[in-house]
Chains A and B, each alone.
Chain A
Amino acid sequence: MTVKYTKDHEWISVNGDIATVGITDYALHQLGDLVFVEVPEAGRTVSQGDETAVVESVKAASEVYTPVSGEVTEGNSGIADDPATVSGDPKGNGWFFKIKFSDSSEFDGLMNDAEYKAYVASLD
């Protein structure tokens, strides 16, 4: 399973024609304790870079942008009910939404694991 990353600190993992999107450890560390999460409804059509989910810490609200275009097939109601799930397991149970992507070439512009690690290192 391929995992790719965005400069906005989303991860996206591909399984067939469905991709799962979440936020990275780096993003979590920047945000601090999450107190509210809003995930998209199934059926919503989004374009690459659209604000698709929302995360809020005590201090501020931030957007989660979809790394690829397509149709949302599921939002993770588990993290909407309990935002702390994201902090405990950002790459597993803390996923945000699944998307049936429409243009696989959009993955080409995303970073692989090594590239993302280098990118994060350049930020500190």
Chain B
Amino acid sequence: MSENTSASEILLTTPLDALHRALGAKMVPFAGYAMPVQYPAGILKEHLHTREAAGLFDVSHMGQAFLMGDNAIEAFEALVPGDYQGLAEGKTRYSVLLNDQGGIMDDLMATRIAGGLYLVVNAACKTQDFAHIEANTRGRAKLEILADRALLALQGPKAGAVLARLAPTTADMTFMTFRKVDIAGIACFTTRSGYTGEDGFEISVPADRAEELAKKLLAEPEVEPIGLGARDSLRLEAGLCLYGHDIDTHTTPIEGDIKWVVNKRRREDKGFPGADFILGQLANGTERLRVGILPDGRAPAREGTEVQDLNGNTIGTVTSGGFGPSVGGPIAMGYVKTAFATEGTPVNLIVRGKALAAKIVKMPFTQKSYKTA
């Protein structure tokens, strides 16, 4: 997910627009789309419901595409640090598109399917992502943008039971796997993945059947509709990056503390953009690192908050911060100078001119509960 857009722009709508409005959603501009930020239950209850039962999110604004062809995998690997040749068909892997300086152009999910890859990228980046992928794989692979498909996320500890009721064959899917499956009689494909730290699925559905599928899922007793507000607090508690805030073209995967996206084989072949720079950072470290920050008190520290050491020197900035409903208090993530990135280091957050005590912590803030077996 990424930047808001100005209200003066004409907004696109997702195939679930009428359903959101019928459910009483508060609609806001997000990445060029009118999107539900919350429903009448409110962000707090929506967040907690997702952690306790199951939440349904409309993420149809995100970009979906197939990259197909005999050389699609190799061509794609030239743009990302992930090992996709070594990934089995039906498996999904998180990765990042890199520029020549090793900066992150976007983060994405790529799944190996028969004949190529299935890609899901951020809404705000999708136009430039697809142009970049197409331009750099031309002649070796064919990019097919799936503009006629919606994307729903079903997340939470009851998501598995709910989906198994409508599509029994999904029961044995594990985290980061993909399957083509009929859900309530609708031809979908789904990955067992998400952006909440919970077990769950992202379900790609033909746009003209998205509302029908959403209504069937919402008819299950465990499922409530969840807006972008809770999506943000859920992913922050899970320690997951929001593109454009926690990672961007000025951060590398090493600084962003997602160095595991640089897979072993790729460290050896060095065939990804910015490889020399990134591998140098892997060997020698970086000047700054993304960390979790836990305020001691009750006041949230929002994006842009200055982080200081105990002597009043600036050592970093909060890139995402707010209230964690499941944590029951304020949480944040941001970048600090590497010397201060050790777990337990005391720091100050400058909120409305006051220095508030906080400490560097390991993320996630809440336990992840993926279905790994």
A61 to B37 Cα, complex, angstroms: 16
CB-CB nearest in chain B for A58: B43
Q: Does B216 sit within 8 A of A, measured CB to CB?
A: no
* CB <8 Å contact, A58 and B352: no
A5 to B325 Cα, complex, angstroms: 32
**B343-360 near A? 1/0 per residue, CB < 8 Å:** 000000000100000000
* Size class of the contact patch on chain B: 20 to 34
B38-88 interface with A by 8 A CB criterion: 38, 42-45, 47
Cross-interface CB contact of B42 among A33, A54, A60, A61, cutoff 8 Å: A33
* CB <8 Å contact, A33 and B300: no
Contacts of A59 in B (CB 8 A): 37, 43, 229, 232, 322
Cross-interface CB contact of A36 among B230, B233, B330, cutoff 8 Å: B330
Q: Does A10 sit within 8 A of B, measured CB to CB?
A: no
Minimum C-beta distance from B54 to chain A (A): 20
* CB <8 Å contact, B302 and A36: no
Minimum C-beta distance from B35 to chain A (A): 13
Cross-interface CB contact of A56 among B44, B45, B230, B300, cutoff 8 Å: B300
Contacts of B298 in A (CB 8 A): 36
* CB <8 Å contact, A58 and B325: yes
Q: Does A35 sit within 8 A of B, measured CB to CB?
A: yes
Contacts of A36 in B (CB 8 A): 298-300, 323, 330
Contacts of A58 in B (CB 8 A): 43-44, 47, 229-230, 233, 322-323, 325
* CB <8 Å contact, A32 and B43: yes
Can you list 16 pairs linking A and B with CB atoms under 8 Å apart?
A33-B42, A33-B43, A36-B299, A36-B300, A54-B352, A57-B323, A58-B44, A58-B47, A58-B230, A58-B233, A59-B37, A59-B43, A59-B232, A59-B322, A60-B302, A61-B302
* Interface residues, chain B, with chain A CB atoms under 8 Å away: 37-38, 42-45, 47, 229-230, 232-233, 298-300, 302, 322-323, 325, 330, 352
For the complex with contacts A57-B43, A58-B47, A59-B232, 12 further pairs of A-B residues with Cβ separation under 8 Å are: A32-B42, A32-B43, A32-B229, A33-B44, A35-B44, A35-B300, A56-B300, A56-B323, A58-B43, A59-B43, A59-B229, A61-B302
